[in-house]
Copies of this chain bind each other. A is one copy, B any other.
Amino acid sequence: MDKSVRETSLAGRLKTACAQCSLRELCLPVGLNQDEVARLDRLVGARRKVLRQQPLYRAGDPFEALYAIRVGFFKTDVLNEDGRNQVTGFQMAGEILGMDGISSEMHSCNAIALEDSEVCVIPFDQLESLGRDIGALQHNLHQVLSREIVRDHGVMMLLGTMRAEERLAAFLLNISQRFTVRGFSHAEFHLRMTREEIGSYLGLKLETVSRAFSKFQDEKLISVQQRRIRILDSAGLKKALERRSG
């Protein structure tokens, strides 16, 4: 009884503190006690709104903080000397941005909002310092960093071994699954990014992406109207992930 009351009030505090999204991934799964959550909460004071198409940070900016997405949608991309551009990821509410900056005290990619967004600013030196006191928080940070590495390996697999339609199927299933986790429909959603941005992420040209969408629609796996996607046959999409034996 006492315990359930405490949990309720804790949930209430968090709702106002971080909505229900942002820091769940970074801190809540690790089971902090009330005092520890309060300390974390103090650390994550600042909020920052980022309008659509505006950068949260840019390559070369000094690294100061990680960012937990409260609401919105981002892409990250890197630009190399000769102007080529690679989208390295799309991030949605509850995910963490900025980890690329830790290694050199400077961000190495751009983080651009694809819709009006809001993030919690987590000053990194303070996070490290709090992690020294709260082992569970420290461990969770390590998991978040490692998860990003594992995700990147998945993208390498996609870019290195899959063909166009397999890449798009993997992309759609991944997006769908992440929307589902956030309580949205897994079958119907709208993409925040252009065909060109999808293509950059998947290592394809925008025309190829468009053709693959059309092909999936012809095969009744999905329906496409601009950026509105409905998944009609997710088992079929999963089968499209397997290399056709040719």
CB proximity to B under 8 Å, residues A92-145: 99-104, 108-109, 128-129, 131-133, 135, 138-139, 141-145
Identify which of B84, B141, B150, B201 contacts A243 (C-beta below 8 A): B84
Chain A residues with a Cβ closer than 8 Å to the other chain, count: 51
Footprint of B on A, CB under 8 Å? 78, 80-82, 84-86, 88, 99-104, 108-109, 128-129, 131-133, 135, 138-139, 141-150, 152-157, 159-162, 200-203, 241-243
Identify which of B80, B143, B160 contacts A159 (C-beta below 8 A): B160
Q: Do the beta carbons of B143 and A103 come within 8 Å of each other?
A: yes
Which residues in B have their C-beta under 8 angstroms from that of A85?
A: 161
A54, chain B: closest CB distance, angstroms: 21
Task: Tell me whether chain A's interface is mostly helix, strand or loop, or mixed.
Answer: helix
For the complex, what is the distance from the CA of A149 to the CA of B147, rounded to whole Å?
10
Q: Do the beta carbons of B160 and A86 come within 8 Å of each other?
A: yes
Q: Do the beta carbons of B156 and A88 come within 8 Å of each other?
A: yes
A127, chain B: closest CB distance, angstroms: 10
For the complex, what is the distance from the CA of A152 to the CA of B156, rounded to whole Å?
8
Given A86-B153, A152-B152, A159-B203, output 7 extra A-B contacts at Cβ < 8 Å.
A80-B157, A86-B156, A99-B149, A128-B138, A132-B133, A141-B142, A152-B155
A158, chain B: closest CB distance, angstroms: 9
Which residues in B have their C-beta under 8 angstroms from that of A142?
A: 102, 128, 141, 145
Which residues in B have their C-beta under 8 angstroms from that of A135?
A: 128-129, 132
User: Which residue in chain B gives the minimum CB-CB distance to A127?
Assistant: B142
For the complex, what is the distance from the CA of A146 to the CA of B203, rounded to whole Å?
23
User: Which residue in chain B gives the minimum CB-CB distance to A124?
Assistant: B142
A213, chain B: closest CB distance, angstroms: 19
Which residues in B have their C-beta under 8 angstroms from that of A86?
A: 153, 156-157, 160-161
Identify which of B145, B148, B156 contacts A155 (C-beta below 8 A): B156
Which residues in B have their C-beta under 8 angstroms from that of A109?
A: 153
Which residues in B have their C-beta under 8 angstroms from that of A143?
A: 102-103
Q: Do the beta carbons of A146 and B78 come within 8 Å of each other?
A: no
User: Which residue in chain B gives the minimum CB-CB distance to A144?
Assistant: B103
Q: Do the beta carbons of A153 and B88 come within 8 Å of each other?
A: yes
A80, chain B: closest CB distance, angstroms: 6
Q: List 19 A-B contacts (CB under 8 A).
A: A78-B153, A78-B154, A78-B157, A80-B161, A85-B161, A86-B156, A99-B146, A99-B149, A102-B143, A102-B146, A104-B150, A108-B150, A108-B153, A128-B139, A131-B132, A132-B133, A132-B135, A142-B145, A156-B159
